[in-house]
Structure 1
């Protein structure tokens, strides 16, 4: 199935849509349903005040994919960097019906563009948590494997990706 997806940064009024996507991820991984999860997730995300940005992929305003990061700000070190801001990519998910349509790549490109514009130094992602398509998406975006099996990208993303 092929459909152009609209990718946008999730806003506070999207808290339940973000939580519902997290439920889909959990169910796909075999987690048991929890009737209070959506409320707990939405409340936690709203309290985080922007430390865990998410992006939604939508077709006709229906969420069908999500990407999320956790922002990290390292303390300065003597003789080292004054301050390093980077992000851990913890979520890239597309509903089964819309997989292999390029939406995961669209989400990743949007995260890269935002992170670069925000001055983040790099992104890291543990591919064991991101699903089977993550390695290919990461490589296409210029990320390199690390010794731990995660991927890392310095945010000098080629303009051809956008």
Structure 2
């Protein structure tokens, strides 16, 4: 059963909400508390010039999940594509109370739709870092194993680019 979560792209005014979700993820993974983390993360994200995109999952405006992608723009290669932009999925986290409700899949679909609309050629993610539900979500969305633990999804180029 899916929870009625609202998934949206995080904006600069969400910097502290994004940082708080990253703090929860770190604590769940066993990281030691750091009283300066939220400020440091928010400042770094705001300075990152748009190379790190985040999505928040919310119910009644309360953040309960986060997805993150780092945008990679490769330099041209002789004989290769003129421009290659792709995304590295590095964060997919849902708070324990809302797991197994379909929110991870909702976030992944939003990330895929946005990535395709942005003209990214593919998404890649190390699913061993993204939790036990990640491989199933990736397969359902067309991802395929690239090598151990790494899944990749080739995105369709939007028709609007032609």
CA RMSD of aligned residues (A): 1.2
User: In the alignment, does 2:144 pair up with 1:156?
Assistant: no
CA distance in 1, matches of 2:49, 2:88: 17
CA distance in 1, matches of 2:63, 2:147: 35
Residue in 1 that maps onto 2:102: 102
1:39 paired to 2:39 = yes
2: distance between equivalents of 1:16 and 1:40?
10
Matches within 5 A, 1:8-157: 8-156=8-156
Q: Which runs of 4+ in 1 moved over 6 A?
A: none
- 1:160 is matched with none
TM-score of the aligned structures, taking structure 1 as reference length: 0.94
State the Cα distance separating 1:149 from its structure 2 match. Answer: 2.2
User: SS state of the match for residue 147, structure 2?
Assistant: coil
SS in 1 for 2:71: strand
* Equivalent-residue separation in structure 2 for 1:78 and 1:58 (angstroms): 45
- 1:2: Cα distance to partner? 5.4
Q: What is the deviation of 1:156?
A: 2.5
> TM-score normalized by structure 2?
0.94
Hey, what's the Cα distance between the residues in 2 that align with 1:49 and 1:88? 16
Tell me how far apart the structure 1 counterparts of residues 73 and 34 of structure 2 sit (CA, whole Å): 32
Deviates more, 1:144-153 or 1:22-31: 144-153
Deviation at 1:50, TM superposition (A): 1.1
- Give the unaligned 5+ runs of structure 1: 158-162
Query: Following the alignment from structure 1 to structure 2, what is the Cα–Cα distance between the partners of residues 148 and 50?
Result: 29
Matched residue count: 157
Q: SS where residue 51 of structure 2 aligns?
A: coil
Report the Cα offset of residue 148 of structure 1.
Answer: 3.6
User: Quick check: 1:2–1:98 contact (8 Å CA) kept in 2?
Assistant: no
